[in-house]
Structure 1
Amino acid sequence: MTSPARPDRGAAWTVDDLPDLPDDGQDYEIFDGSLLVSPHADVFHGAVANRLRRLLDRQAPAGLLVGQDIGVSAKRSSYFVPDLFVAREEALDRGGPALDPADVLLVVEVVPPGNAGRDLVLKRHEYAVADIPTYWLVEPRKQSLTVLRNVGGVYREAAVVTGTEPWHSETPFPLELPLSEIF
């Protein structure tokens, strides 16, 4: 097993270091210059994310893209890869190592049972400070969706969605979301 390539001793990790990391089944993110390593999500986690993506894709208007596997970086020393995002489509044409948060309208995290703190605390704070307007926390074990809206750099709970009735929202675009099609 090889170790990830490290920046010079004492130097912080940045998005520029990401291409040098091995393709070893781990997920790599960066928080404030520190490398965060997580095992790749399990099948159920991926199924929930993909079902939600299909629902959002069907309803997204032209000019907005529902995506996965692309990172968001507010600064060179922090980089997170949400399970899903909605961004302005032209942002993807610019290239680069990560999306600029100014182009991201929504980030979605499917909360894993073993590492919930990263999504519930760390990413919640970082996405809010980066001024991403909306953050969804999908909790498969609770079969719930928590909708957070950015108010002055802090997320405030706007809704907790459970049950069988479809949820309607105008943000990030007009949509109807039946949770029964996700879990």
Structure 2
Amino acid sequence: MTSPARPSGREPWTVDDLQDLPEDGQDYEIFDGSLLVSPHADVFHGAVANRLRRLLDRQAPSGLLVGQDIGVSAKRSSYFVPDLFVAREDALGRGGPALAPADVLLVVEVVSPGNAGRDLVLKRHEYGVAGIPRYWLVEPRKQTLTVLEHVGTGYRESQVISAPEVYRTDGPFPLVLPVADIF
């Protein structure tokens, strides 16, 4: 797989450079000025993300949005597109190429076997440094939901919930989530 050429006149990639990339079936993210390219997720991955989105949507209060396909920019040189997020709805009216971490209450990644390191290590670190309060890792092969909570500049694992258990929480909003319904 060939990567697009580096932007002319600049060394690092920025969020603004993404608008010039082709619609070619690849997902583009940026880490510390380096372009990350990966194929779109498969059907099962998408189904898991969509099931979880529906479950969250049903319980989300007014003023919060459960979304997909919008990036989060931890800094100008890093940009990630989580599988799902919960953000303050008024943040979407501000426009721009990405959500600011201060407006994001939760990011969710559905872990893919071929890309697990990016979700388990890289994004965990970057979302933590950015101060996003909650990070969930959904692992379809294990049928688990791992809940991480922000502490200092990183995350601590607070719970691992397996199907058929039910996860109950007050953050990012009061929620009752039957984990088996995700898979």
Same fold (TM over 0.5): yes
> Residues of 1 paired with 2:163 and 2:114: CA distance?
24
Partner residue of 1:179? 179
Distance 2:129 2:112 in 1: 23
Percent identity for Structure 1 against Structure 2: 80
Confirm or deny: 8 A CA contact 1:65 1:88 kept in the other structure. Answer: yes
Q: Given residue 16 of structure 1, which amino acid in structure 2 is its aligned partner?
A: D
Q: Structure 1 stretches of 5 or more lacking a match?
A: none
Please, which runs of 5 or more residues in structure 2 have no aligned partner?
Answer: none
Aligned to 1:168: 168
Q: Deviations over 1:128-170 (max 9, x none)?
A: 0000000000000000000000000110001000031311011
| Match in the other structure for 1:126 | 126
Aligned length: 183
In structure 1, the partner of 2:45 is: 45
* Residue pairs, 1:82-101, within 5 angstroms: 82-101=82-101
| 1:35 aligns to 2:31 (yes or no) | no
CA contact (8 A) 1:5 1:20 kept: no
Q: Could you tell me the TM-score, scaled by structure 2's length?
A: 0.97
> For 1:10-51, what per-residue CA distance to the aligned partner results, in whole angstroms no more than 9, with x for missing partners?
510000100100000000000000000001000000000000
CA deviation after TM superposition for structure 1 residue 5, in Å: 4.7
CA distance in 2, matches of 1:59, 1:40: 28
- Answer whether contact 1:5 1:21 (CA < 8 A) is retained: no
Distance in 2 between residues matched to 1:67 and 1:147, nearest whole Å: 18
| Structure 1 moving runs of 4+ over 2 Å | 1-6
1:1-183 counterparts in 2 under 5 A?
Answer: 4-8=4-8, 11-183=11-183
SS in 1 for 2:113: coil
Give, in angstroms, the shift of residue 2 of structure 1: 8.1
For the residue of structure 2 that corresponds to 1:4, the secondary structure is coil
One-letter code aligned to 2:102? A
Quick check: 1:164–1:178 contact (8 Å CA) kept in 2?
A: yes
Deviation at 1:8, TM superposition (A): 2.4
Q: Would you say the 8 A contact 1:108–1:137 is kept in 2?
A: yes
Could you list the per-position Cα deviations for residues 40-75 of structure 1 after superposition, in whole angstroms to 9, with x for gaps in the alignment? 000000000000000000000000000000000021
TM-score (norm 1): 0.97
